[in-house]
Amino acid sequence: MKVIPRAARVYIGCVLLGAGASALPALRPGAATPWATVALLAALYALCELPARCRLLGRAVGGSVPMGTGSFFPVLLAAALLLPPAAAALTALPGSLLARVDEPPAGPRRAWRAAATALATWAAAQTAAALSCARALGHGHDAPDFPYALLPAGAAALTFCLVLTALDGGIRATADGIPPRAAWHGLLARALAPHAVHGLAGLMMAVLWRSAYGPVSALFVLLPMYISCWVFAQYHRERAAHQATIRALVQAVDIKDRYTRGHSERVGHASVLIARELGMAEERLDVVRFAGILHDVGKLGVPTRVLRKDGPLTPEERRVIELHPEYGHEMVRGIGFLGEARAAILHHHERMDGSGYPYGLHGDEIPEFARVVAVADAFDAMTSTRSYSRARPVPTAVAELERCAGSQFDARMVAALVRALDRHGWQPAVTADETAPAAPAGGNVPTARDADAARRPGASGAPGASEGPGAPGTRPKERA
């Protein structure tokens, strides 16, 4: 189970205290809280979120349920328009606590989500009250004051969005160790459009709730919301299919080149660490991870006897291995969701000084993702113990990358990896049959097989660091 950092625990505690303080006035004697409306809206929100938590209910409604809290925010925004702020905060609690949690620890995640959602609902209700939303909505046979009613509804939805994204960015910064700039980067831009739609749906619910037709009529607003949830679920199913495609390709590579088992996944992880340090937008992180995971997929086009050859490679075999970036690009060029990852697969063996392959690009001619993957690929190759080479310590590998920065690697990418390692650390891994090779009798002198493996271009993507900048695409030799 993931350990929650101390900073994140303090942050969550403060948000919980804030949520408690926002809801407390509704519980005080004489508060005149409209408990019937609170109970109806809270129960409605909880029922909307329940199918995502309960597998049986999820199958009963066709298996297309929202993946977590957020799809039924219009219920909370209707509460913010209809209720006093403290009472509106209470409506968020049951549904948020019932929302599905896919990763441990479930308890703290649910508590955090409930507190953040309650605070956002309270803030939205405060904004609506300040703009006299209750009067604008009308009551019974009194018609709502359109278009003025759009103002408090829009302001409440905007406030809800701002508070929720601010809190979410804070938890990302404290729990995941993401730099503050990267933690909030892109969150608001992605949330504005959905929350604007939620605000309009919430206004529709509130108007119908206060109309002569009563609360039952407001339930009809949930039909289009369920349709949106269904579309959302289809998106996640498509995404799961993408992930399955990636896993199948990676497994095929691992089976063919048993010496680098697990390497692709770790390169994907290291690529994301670098990209986050560079402040890349969240939607690009998935693509750069795909680039790292699939960078060696072209090995499927290289004869197995060449990949597993123990003796020295002939010049012809060397040229065949150097074709694996082009093979990989041809294999994935029709997979649209990979986007920029396709260029990274093709160019991850290019060098900043122009001596790489397949096209000898140099400097900024090399796509950004390819420069990220090149550093991640080399770092993992140097820090992984395999059947033909021993792992280098992380500081040694970092020093080698820094030595080759500017000639073989983009110095900016190397610096980003160094910062990420300082922040998150790195767990070296054994990748050949999950066992480390026994040390040779001669101490640290590499075997003939090790030395030959170190000279194979493109076999693992490690830098020719020990060979010097003039040896593009080679593995670093073990130091004698």
Over residues 286-291, mean pLDDT: 92
pLDDT for residue 229: 66
Round to whole Å and give the CA distance between 331 and 348.
15
Residue with the bigger pLDDT between 472 and 423: it is 423
Q: pLDDT (tens digit, 9 = 90+) per residue, 115-163?
A: 999 999 999 999 999 999 988 998 877 788 888 999 999 999 999 999 9
Residue 7 has pLDDT above 50, yes or no: yes
Cα torsion through 194, 197, 199, 205, rounded to 10: -130
Lowest-pLDDT range, 41-50, 175-184, 406-415, 454-463?
A: 454-463
Q: Tell me, what DSSP letter sits at residue 42?
A: H
Please name which of 201, 207, 208 lies closest in space to residue 229, comparing C-alpha atoms.
201
3-state secondary structure of 167: helix
Residue with tokens 């329940």: 50
Please name which of 330, 313, 163, 331 lies closest in space to residue 246, comparing C-alpha atoms.
331
Cα torsion through 453, 458, 462, 468, rounded to 10: 80
Q: pLDDT (tens digit, 9 = 90+) per residue, 204-255?
A: 899 989 888 888 888 787 777 667 667 766 777 787 788 888 888 888 887 8
Please name which of 190, 184, 119, 130 lies closest in space to residue 155, comparing C-alpha atoms.
130
3-state secondary structure of 106: helix
- Is the sign of the CA dihedral 378, 382, 387, 389 positive or negative? positive
Residue 368 has pLDDT above 60, yes or no: yes
Lowest-pLDDT range, 45-54, 88-97, 199-208, 360-369?
A: 45-54
Residue with tokens 């009194």: 142
Round to whole Å and give the CA distance between 452 and 48.
61
Q: pLDDT (tens digit, 9 = 90+) per residue, 26-36?
A: 999 988 899 99
Round to whole Å and give the CA distance between 63 and 54.
11
**Percent of the chain residues past pLDDT 90, beyond the cut:** 44
Paired tokens of 398: 């970092």
pLDDT for residue 115: 95
120: which residues sit within 8 A by CB, 6+ positions away? 76, 92, 159, 160, 163, 164, 167
pLDDT for residue 213: 84
**Angle, CA of 69, 70 and 75, to the nearest 5°:** 105
The model's pTM? 0.57
Round to whole Å and give the CA distance between 76 and 45.
7
Paired tokens of 232: 């959302």
Residue 393 has pLDDT above 80, yes or no: yes
Round the average pLDDT of the chain to a whole number and report it.
81
Q: pLDDT (tens digit, 9 = 90+) per residue, 314-323?
A: 889 889 989 9
pLDDT for residue 100: 75
Residue 454 has pLDDT above 50, yes or no: no
Over residues 397-410, mean pLDDT: 95
Residue 474 has pLDDT above 70, yes or no: no
Give the type of residue at 204.
Answer: M
Over residues 56-68, mean pLDDT: 45
Scanning 54-130, the segments in alpha helix (DSSP H) are 55-60, 73-82, 85-98, 106-130
Round to whole Å and give the CA distance between 418 and 42.
48
What φ, ψ does residue 303 adopt, rounded to 5°?
-55, 135
Paired tokens of 51: 């199918």
For residue 52, name the pLDDT band (cuts at 50, 70, 90): low
Residue with tokens 């992605």: 190
Distances in Å between the alpha carbon of 180 and those of 108, 177, 191, 350? 22, 9, 18, 32
pLDDT for residue 69: 43
**Percent of the chain residues past pLDDT 70, beyond the cut:** 81
Q: pLDDT (tens digit, 9 = 90+) per residue, 322-335?
A: 999 999 999 988 88
